Structure 1
Amino acid sequence: MANKAVLFYGLESIAEAGITDVGMIVGDTAAEIEEAVGDGSQFGLKVTYIPQERPLGLAHAVLIARDYLGDDDFVMYLGDNFIVGGITDLVDEFRGNRPDAQILLTRVADPRAFGVAELDPSGQVIGLEEKPDRPKSDLALVGVYLFTPLIHEAVRAIEPSWRGELEITHAIQHLIDSRADVRSTVITGYWKDTGNVGDMLEVNRMVLEGMDRRIDGDADTASETIGRVVVEEGARIVNSRIVGPAVIGAGTVISNSYVGPFTSIAENCRITDSELEFSIVLRDSSIQGVGRIEASLIGRHVEVTPAPSVPSAHRFVLGDHSKVQITS
């Protein structure tokens, strides 16, 4: 998001809350994560990596972190969540009141894709469901949880769900059923679970809107930069137009092109004879002569070029009773 990994925003929020020790659950992408995060010192943290054989659920993550966590209170922060304003106030509230567990909730349009909380008239949590077909409320669990060591008993007491996972919602429900003190905070600020391209582009847009204009790289006299544009040192803009908010990474060259609002282009990319808007381009990628691209996520070391000129044609495999409309 704005040329910084979503995970980094979470680690910065954790450090700002006064937490220094982080146990990071890693799986198949462990090597890549360790390369990016290192020992955590760049964030003011001490990171310990805890391997998980396969994704067996959030409660399983707590289970395998038992030795690391000891008898300490802890925050569980899902690495693909983005919360504006951080978690400092939440952590301070938890430290002051110290319930057995505290969860974050936010209202969503379609709660069926989330863990969902049911509250009584006084606001007390009375039930949790994981991705229910018929949600009892529109209050979705945000991916930040605060626990005392009592949660360890709960994760050992539950059975895998129909998905074959140990669900953290089931563990928290076990606490509720055991009359533990489970509290909730409903947040009204910006939150996104960046689990799909649409959400990633939306978070990228929001982050870019908060950036200030900064031109540390080079833009020739034939180029134009308008609004909140960040051109990082070592980047070059040649005969191009950049309309912010947008960020151009170090070592990237934009030539004979247009980069529109809400676009982040990472380091060492090449954009030539193309138009790009409301998109994310990761490092070491090139886009050459492809006209207009929008609402797109382009990964690392990607090459986008025009297709060879061939006669126009359509190819179909159509089932019985199909109806097809074609725009020539």
Structure 2
Amino acid sequence: MGWLCQPCPSGMDRTGAAQTVARRERRMRNIRKAVITAAGRGTRQFPATRTLQKEMLPLVDRDGITKPALQLLVEEAVNAGIEQVGIVVNPESEAGIRAYFGALTDEEAGWGNDKQLLYEQAEHLQHLGERIVTIVQSEPLGLGHAVYLAREFVGEEPFIMYLGDHVLLSHTEKNCTQQVLDVYAQTGGTLSAVRRTPEERVHLYGTLAGTPLPSVTNTLHVTAMIEKPSVEQARASLRMSTLPEGVYYCFFGINVFTPEIFECLERTIAEGHRMKGEYQLTTAQQMLVERGSYYACEIAGEALDIGIPQGYLEAQMALGLAGTYGDALRRWMNERGGCDR
């Protein structure tokens, strides 16, 4: 939401007013909250998602602990300094997600596993759970609607937003979220992480183009955006001379929004702008592009989509190779003839 200029209070000179504005801007850049959308039905992973929310599909993380994908995102946010996490859920999955991040049950406490590991992990989950608020999306009305439901949780603050069915894997010491927040500290406004994507895959993602910012490395001022364009649309409207032929910038799965996004989503919903019966987040994002302060940054990392079988396999392989079992996994692959078999 844009700030309105107010008259200086009595006794406050222009310097004092400027300092007040500067403090306000610093607060607006101090991001404390994250929103994870995790209400989708996971139809592309049926039948595994018949009784299990897709964001709760298990993965062996880099530390060798088996966790649901949702936990990886919550840990990603908390490790980047986020204090509160709002998870948008559907009515069927809310109880299970809340229970997962809850206290150890009496039955679990009686298990004969490694007690130290059991209690360490249970305590860790409970600490994460103390930061979590669930937000119920009663009807499957799309990603835009899911984000809009977080309005009360977010309040008048900027926030970071994740797609709940993405696993993030950084290629640097800083996690993907920290990289995005470092750029946001320089740009302000709305900021989306992007990745280079070959043109044969742009139909799967929101795709954008823009003008490079000389002052911020690997960052664009966004000028155009299309939700899941055809190759022809991308070539006609989103081609960038700074990228190789046939390569485009697509959304990575991390966005920083100000409360202004809710104004745009409210308008989208009120005017009934739907695509295939759903309110799309990109409709509101396009409104923000038209307002001018929309940026995109390319970060060093991967976002792997576990909502599809191939993406789920890729996520597990990437985590496995990057983690505790990496050497053992490589030996196993070599024993089977490498990747060609």
1:143 pairs with 2:253:
yes
1:128 pairs with 2:192:
no
- Provide the secondary structure at the position in 2 that maps to 1:163: coil
Alpha-carbon distance between aligned partners in 2 of 1:186 and 1:92, rounded to the nearest angstrom:
12
Residue number in structure 2 paired with 1:9: 72
Structure 2 spans left out of the alignment, 5+ residues? 1-58, 61-65, 104-124, 214-219, 240-247
- Residue 99 of structure 2, aligned match among 31, 35, 38: 35
- 1:33: Cα distance to partner? 2.0
- Residue 182 of structure 2, aligned match among 92, 114, 120: 92
Cα deviation digits, residues 209-255 of structure 1 (max 9, x gap): 12235xxxxxxxxxxxxx844xxxxxxxxxxxxxx359xxxxxxxxx
1:40-55 matched pairs, under 5 angstroms: 41-43=126-128, 46-55=131-140
1:116 pairs with 2:207:
yes
- Residue 163 of structure 1, aligned match among 245, 251, 276: 276
Alpha-carbon distance between aligned partners in 2 of 1:17 and 1:165, rounded to the nearest angstrom:
32
1:59-70 matched pairs, under 5 angstroms: 59-70=144-155
- 1:44: Cα distance to partner? 7.3
Cα deviation digits, residues 11-43 of structure 1 (max 9, x gap): 111001111111110013222222223386443
1:69-108 matched pairs, under 5 angstroms: 69-85=154-170, 86=175, 87-94=177-184, 96-97=185-186, 99-108=188-197
- 1:261: Cα distance to partner? 4.2
Q: Structure 1 residues 78 and 26 mapped into 2: Cα distance closer, same or farther (>3 Å)? A: same
- 1:156: Cα distance to partner? 1.1
Alpha-carbon distance between aligned partners in 2 of 1:144 and 1:66, rounded to the nearest angstrom:
18
Alpha-carbon distance between aligned partners in 2 of 1:212 and 1:70, rounded to the nearest angstrom:
40
TM-score (structure 1 length as normaliser): 0.62
Q: CA RMSD in A?
A: 2.7
| Maintained 8 Å contact 2:304/2:315 | yes
Q: Please tell me the residue identity of whatever aligns with 1:130.
A: E
Structure 1 spans left out of the alignment, 5+ residues? 214-226, 230-243, 247-259, 263-274, 279-294, 296-328
- Provide the secondary structure at the position in 2 that maps to 1:38: coil
Residue number in structure 2 paired with 1:177: 290
1:195 pairs with 2:307:
yes
Higher helix share: 2
TM-score (structure 2 length as normaliser): 0.59
Alpha-carbon distance between aligned partners in 2 of 1:15 and 1:106, rounded to the nearest angstrom:
23
- Provide the secondary structure at the position in 2 that maps to 1:71: coil
Residue number in structure 1 paired with 2:112: none
Q: Which has the higher contact order (CA 8 A, sep 6+)?
A: 2
Q: Structure 1 residues 212 and 65 mapped into 2: Cα distance closer, same or farther (>3 Å)? A: closer
Identity of aligned residues (%): 26
Cα deviation digits, residues 129-168 of structure 1 (max 9, x gap): 1112232352111111101111111111224322222211
1:186 pairs with 2:276:
no
| Maintained 8 Å contact 1:60/1:166 | yes
Count of aligned residue pairs for this structure pair:
224
Q: Please tell me the residue identity of whatever aligns with 1:202.
A: E
Q: Structure 1 residues 41 and 74 mapped into 2: Cα distance closer, same or farther (>3 Å)? A: farther
Q: Which protein is bigger by CA-based radius of gyration?
A: 1
Q: Please tell me the residue identity of whatever aligns with 2:128.
A: F
